[in-house]
Amino acid sequence: MFTTIMAVWLLTMVIGSANRMYAQSDIDTARIEAFYIHADSVCKYPPLVDTLRILKTKVIEGTYVTFIGYKGSPQVRIVAVTAIPLNNLKKQISLLPDFHGPFPYPGNVTSWGYVFDRNQDGKVDYMALLGGAAPYEKGDMPADYPPRKVTLTPDQMEYYVNHCQMIFNHWADDNYDGVIDGVIHIDMDPVRDWVMDQIVVRSTKFDGNFDEVWAFQGSFDNRADTVAYKKNSVPYRPIALPPSQITPDVFNDKTNVLNLINRAARTSGFKIGDFLSGTEEWY
């Protein structure tokens, strides 16, 4: 346990010092790709689940919106949107994958995410929403790693378990008008239950049209050559479901989630400063 805490702490220090190399004006946090690097590290290196606490729950039209923080801090870090009330975070929410046998399990309640208010206007404008638990391909997969349904050797099983993470899809409102205009979304490998790529889809003119679509594997440096997509319809493979499409309707659904969270935040009395900008630990 102590080793894990030290490893996470050391990593946080490394990330912190790397980020301090930049002046504040050099980081355009209002771009999903720039902010993703920070949000991704929050998703990957969470605190222990024991440190979570419920700050407020608001019921809106039968849906429970639960604002969750870390013990010792008044700010909201996580929001859950559920049909049932949350009353035992330790049992209901997992911040890291549990393993049921060899399979990663994302926890009992999965409709939650890390939230940020990048421009500090009191409204959430970036959500990293949990999508499941699975291993991520990072460009180092051995050539003989088998497709799904083939029994793994002990070495392959160790490789699989070591690559398992919680899956998050990152949704952003980059012009702060309350409408989602960008996503960084997972795309599963067609032949195995691994995340193969992450697809960036943006409406950079904020008019609802997708005008920037590209994909990467593991890090932005490892960019895919092309992403086949049609006008405002980007195909992707979800976890454990048939192939699907990212469309303006999918963006609208997430805008509705954003608006629900912000409505619940407003009626709960949350103010400017109650959500993190995400840059607090950068300088």
Residues 101-140 that bind Ca ion (CB under 5 A): 117, 119, 121, 123, 125
How many chain residues touch Ca ion (CB under 5 A)?
10
Nearer to Ca ion, 175 or 268 (CB): 175
Closest CA to 133 of 94, 180, 79: 94
Rounded Cα distance between 54 and 191, Å, is: 40
Provide the 3-class DSSP secondary structure of residue 194: coil
Nearer to Ca ion, 112 or 126 (CB): 126
Which two tokens mark 143? 């050539």
Q: Considering the complex, what minimum distance in angstroms separates the CB of residue 181 from Ca ion?
A: 4
Task: Check binding of 202 to Ca ion (CB under 5 A).
Answer: no
Q: Considering the complex, what minimum distance in angstroms separates the CB of residue 255 from Ca ion?
A: 8
Nearer to Ca ion, 153 or 252 (CB): 252
Nearer to Ca ion, 186 or 258 (CB): 258
Write the binding mask 7 to 26 for Ca ion: x where contact by CB under 5 A, - elsewhere: --------------------
Q: What is the 3-state secondary structure (H, E, C) of 267-281?
A: HHCCCCCCECCCCCC
Nearer to Ca ion, 174 or 197 (CB): 174
Distance from first CA to last CA of the chain, Å, rounded? 28
Q: Considering the complex, what minimum distance in angstroms separates the CB of residue 274 from Ca ion?
A: 11
Q: Considering the complex, what minimum distance in angstroms separates the CB of residue 279 from Ca ion?
A: 13
Q: Considering the complex, what minimum distance in angstroms separates the CB of residue 64 from Ca ion?
A: 23
Residues 156-185 that bind Ca ion (CB under 5 A): 173, 175, 177, 179, 181
Rounded Cα distance between 140 and 217, Å, is: 10
Q: How far is CA 49 from CA 123, 180, 272, in A?
A: 25, 29, 26
What contacts 112, CB < 8 A, 6 or more positions away?
Answer: 66, 68, 78, 79, 80, 81, 82, 93, 129, 130
Closest CA to 67 of 280, 252, 271: 271
Q: Considering the complex, what minimum distance in angstroms separates the CB of residue 123 from Ca ion?
A: 4
Nearer to Ca ion, 171 or 194 (CB): 171
Q: Considering the complex, what minimum distance in angstroms separates the CB of residue 278 from Ca ion?
A: 11
Rounded Cα distance between 82 and 65, Å, is: 7
Longest dimension (CA), the chain: 55
Rounded Cα distance between 156 and 141, Å, is: 10
Q: Considering the complex, what minimum distance in angstroms separates the CB of residue 213 from Ca ion?
A: 17
Write the binding mask 69 to 108 for Ca ion: x where contact by CB under 5 A, - elsewhere: ----------------------------------------
Nearer to Ca ion, 121 or 158 (CB): 121
Nearer to Ca ion, 177 or 212 (CB): 177
Task: Estimate the share of the chain in helix, then strand, then coil, as percent rounded to the nearest 5.
Answer: 25, 30, 45
- Footprint of Ca ion on this chain (CB under 5 A)? 117, 119, 121, 123, 125, 173, 175, 177, 179, 181
